[in-house]
Amino acid sequence: MIHYTIENHNFHTNNGINKERCLEYYLTGNAGKHDNVKWYAGSDIPAYNLSVKSAKFSLCSGGHLKGETLAEMLDDFFARVASTKFAYVTVTYEVYEMDKREFREFLEMFGTISRESTSRGGATKIKGKHESKAMLEWFAMRVA
């Protein structure tokens, strides 16, 4: 796991999109435009094959993963995901960059199955939990 800190440049009002754009700017010098690329077709930051997540993220839209349990849904996700690296950006803009194995461990610990709203179909999906002291300690233990 790699750890570094980036700056908040306030590129976007949406928190998750802003963190993605700030990380892209840090890595490439270009903030780019948010493109809503599908998780199985590409990456948030293509030059690095990197998917970016932050607090309370949705792993993907509801109904896109096969399985009933978290483990089954994660098996399907990792069998089809295009990215090879994953970054979690904290509220203080610390970045924890993970490979697939590390990201799966992170999701097993801090991911939950939830349902989309009924207006969006009510399908199941995996969501990240709120950023917590336990989550930050988990990261710190793996970087040290």
Residue 120 lies in a domain: no
Residue 101 lies in a domain: yes
Residue 66 lies in a domain: no
Distance of CA 69 to the CA centre of its chain: 19
What is the reported pLDDT for 32? 78
Contact 39, 60 (CB under 8 A): yes
The domain tally of the chain equals 1
List of residues 6+ apart from 98 with CB closer than 8 A: 1, 85, 86, 87, 88, 106
Residue 84 lies in a domain: yes
Residue 63 lies in a domain: no
Range of the domain at 99: 2-56+80-112+130-143
Give the Å distances, CA to CA, from 81 to 6, 12, 31, 143: 25, 26, 23, 24
Residue 136 lies in a domain: yes
Residue 21 lies in a domain: yes
pLDDT digits over 108-129, tens only?
A: 999 999 888 788 777 889 999 9
pLDDT digits over 29-61, tens only?
A: 998 787 788 999 999 999 999 999 999 999 988
